[in-house]
Chains A and B, each alone.
Chain A
């Protein structure tokens, strides 16, 4: 038996199997995005598959934006969290297809973003929304619809900058893609 086949959470160790996949999912629920630390990788919908093959756990993740500098950091965080939970040798691979869309952000993720002061993406990422760019964004602080875009781009690739004309607070909007 190879070391990589062991689940090493207890002193004795035991071989892992498919029944451990659920536990891996619950570990991933606690791996947070480094730039938006209130949402987990599961909330963001970037974990595309978790499974068991050849005595190893594997995880398939997809990047949010092509140039997102957090992608590698997230992979490392996932690896460390899984190893800490006893998955001795998790395989983490990246997949570009199908391309990530904000439609995959879970309801829990959307609520967490809003509570953190970031307006969640509005509507679905169809072509019309992307091309026209016209969206009614609700202020995450006071709930007013009377908001305006300050900049198409914000502090990270996934956000744009808005301002609420009612409570006058600026805020980030998680762009729809």
Chain B
């Protein structure tokens, strides 16, 4: 399996995470608890698809073997995907969906805020553009976490269960990695050393308002998006998402 250079791997991490998160949101089409929430989730998903395309366009330009954004999204196998384990997890109930969204939004918000100042002009431009949208996303998911956590006994318990379900995947959001170190050493991106602290601060603040408890830091385990070792859920998601392009390559209508 091809392993690209550090910068391209980093772009795929951002692009794949946005695309898979968007795909999970799409699963709520026609099934959301309220019309406004369905609109909200589809709008967030649409923003994320657009962001994924921007990251993929740049990655494809770097790979430079004739690939393009569509091919990266629809013709790579599970092991080639670099998305966070968190975003490939099943939606569960609305509390699980919102908890995943909130953890991801907080991560995106701080990553993009740091990347806004990247020396790499492509990265800075995409980050600046995306951050405007992600600021809205984070505001919305934070409000839901607070509303559900500080809501009824039932909604509070559902939030506690949701955190239990997905917290173990958050280790990837706060880990320090050689790829990012070498990218910042080489001057492509700013150092992401503050990221764990920033993410944790946002989560703590919102959880405090939501009367929820922040668990101890999640430990690393053998799965890792960086090596393509995903949970069992990604393959099934891709099977559905990629079916058309795999069965009818370059189909158009």
Contact = CB atoms under 8 A, between A and B. Distances in A.
Interface of A: 63, 65-69, 96-101, 125, 130-131, 133, 150-155, 157, 161, 175, 177
B79 interface: no
A153 B132 contact: no
A97 B128 CA distance: 8
Q: Which 3 A-B pairs have the closest CB atoms?
A: A67-B50, A66-B50, A97-B125
A67 B36 contact: no
19 contacts: A65-B46, A65-B50, A67-B47, A67-B51, A96-B54, A96-B129, A97-B121, A97-B129, A99-B129, A99-B132, A125-B132, A130-B132, A133-B136, A150-B36, A153-B44, A155-B39, A157-B46, A157-B47, A177-B133
A152 B40 contact: yes
Contacts of B125: 96-97, 99
Interface string B126-144: 1011101101100110000
B174 to A, nearest CB: 22
B51 to A, nearest CB: 5
B53 interface: yes
Given A99-B129, A157-B46, A66 B54 contact: yes
A153 B135 CA distance: 13
Given A66-B53, A99-B125, A152-B40, 14 more contacts: A63-B50, A66-B129, A67-B45, A96-B54, A96-B126, A98-B128, A99-B128, A101-B132, A125-B132, A130-B136, A152-B136, A152-B139, A154-B39, A161-B39
A167 B12 CA distance: 49
